[in-house]
Amino acid sequence: MSADKHLQSWQERFEMAEAMQPLLGKLYRNQGVEVLVYGKPLLNASTIEIIKAHRLVRRHIGEKLRLRESFPFVEALSKLSVKHCKVDIGKLAINYWRDNADASQIQAYMTKELEQGLNFGDDVESKDVVLYGFGRIGRLLARLMIEKTGKSNKLCLRAIVLRGGKKGDLEKRASLLRRDSVHGPFNGSVEVDEENNAIIANGTYIQIIYANSPDQVDYTLYGINNALVVDNTGIWKDEDGLGLHLKSKGASKVLLTAPAKGAIKNVVYGVNENDILPEDMIVSAASCTTNAITPVLKAVNDKYGIENGHVETIHSYTNDQNLIDNYHSADRRGRSAPLNMVITETGAAKAVAKALPVMEGKLTGNAIRVPTPNVSMAIISVNLNGETNRDELNEYLKDIALTSELKNQVDYTDSTEIVSSDLVGSRYAGVVDSQATIADGKRAILYVWYDNEFGYSCQVVGVMQKMLGLTTLSLPEA
């Protein structure tokens, strides 16, 4: 191909991606439809991100997907009354073009394939959500909910509860939402309403409430009723502490963004969210590491069976460590986080059994905190009941990432160059690094990357939706 043809091809792709953007926006704003290309979300994606999502298809299945081949499917989707669904137009387009050369039947094909999504969820009312705390996870949850703002969005962020309330606090909180050293600037506009103590982000009006205890808020004063309170402070972890939230008027359920103590259900979305019953008032979304490893362990156990194993997490430092050497109640965590690797304990391996009971007593675990601000890795070493090899195990996990019920939790990479910073912003619970896989006979070692902040937050949103009865279809099913 000549230099001019390369440029012409790029221009055509760029223009096609630009034409796709308004359709993608309207589909979500008006119908609650999120469009994906082989698992990569296109909502709020730039033209370059749309082009790159299409290029990745070849890495997944060995076939090209050109924008001119997928664009007619976005157009056809925009003409259907499909609602509250995730629609993978990449898979729909590939499946269609494998058997057809005529574009005239695309609309009929889409109508048939997406029949389940026609007017889906129209009878579901919007649900109020309150964030109790506004730290690393709280701010990312806010970003995730705000990015989905639209009249079809049923998950509504209504308020944020904070301690303090000193002069200038509101503007500082807004500034932390606007700018993030790890995840970059907020995608949109953030305004402060000082008079009414509120933040307005991309048109979402968020009441800021100051309180010193979970039971000291009357949410109904702000028009908030039957709200799900998402406690991301990590202060209260048992029924007595978290139950304080339920004493506040207007609060109906509580979700903890940390491992819970006692009989509270620890839920890993994609694995055991169906354990959540309507009568469950308090639920935990477990930890970032438990969310990263449980889907992969489930997939491996389903096929080969796991006799026992060990999980070592190489975890980015967190806010509970010290910047410089100072007193800390926990062993070793008092030493400077940006300057040291710090061995510490993790309950994630044992916590897996709360979401996946078949793993009870089979795993041990430890953690090493390292001088990076985000993105961690779990090294999973297991002894299997059945035999396998590296290529077979990788092919199986690749299929899990693309076509299984765990496709929204497990991602897969075959890159030989990928490093931790490349995974910042990953929306998956965990990403299998196939180049590092070791497998021989009944022994296997898997390396799983995870964005311990953003990927985990995406998992939390899934649990929120389940607790509130907000079901989203993923189409096509295979």
**How many angstroms separate the CA atoms of 377 and 379, rounded?**
7
Question: What does the H/E/C string look like for 177-242?
Answer: HHCCCCCCCCCCCEEEECCCCEEEECCEEEEEEECCCCCCCEHHHHCCCCEEEEECCCCCCCHHHH
Tell me how far apart the alpha carbons of residues 394 and 436 are, in angstroms, rounded to a whole number: 10
Confirm if 117 and 76 have CB atoms less than 8 A apart: no
As a whole number of angstroms, the distance between CA 361 and CA 442 comes to: 19
Phi/psi at 285 (nearest 5 deg)? -95, 20
Tokens 């932390």 sit on residue? 176
Strand (E) or helix (H) holding 400 = helix 390-403
Q: Is 156 a catalytic residue?
A: no
Can you tell me the distance from the alpha carbon of 79 to that of 73, in angstroms, rounded to the nearest whole number?
Answer: 10
Helices 89-99 and 47-61, axial angle in degrees (round to 10): 50
Asked if the bond preceding 476 is cis, omega within 30° of 0, the reply is: yes
Is residue 281 a contact partner of residue 337, using CB atoms and an 8 Å limit? no
CA distance 165 to 155: 27
- Coil, helix or strand for 269? coil
Q: So which residues are the catalytic ones?
A: 288
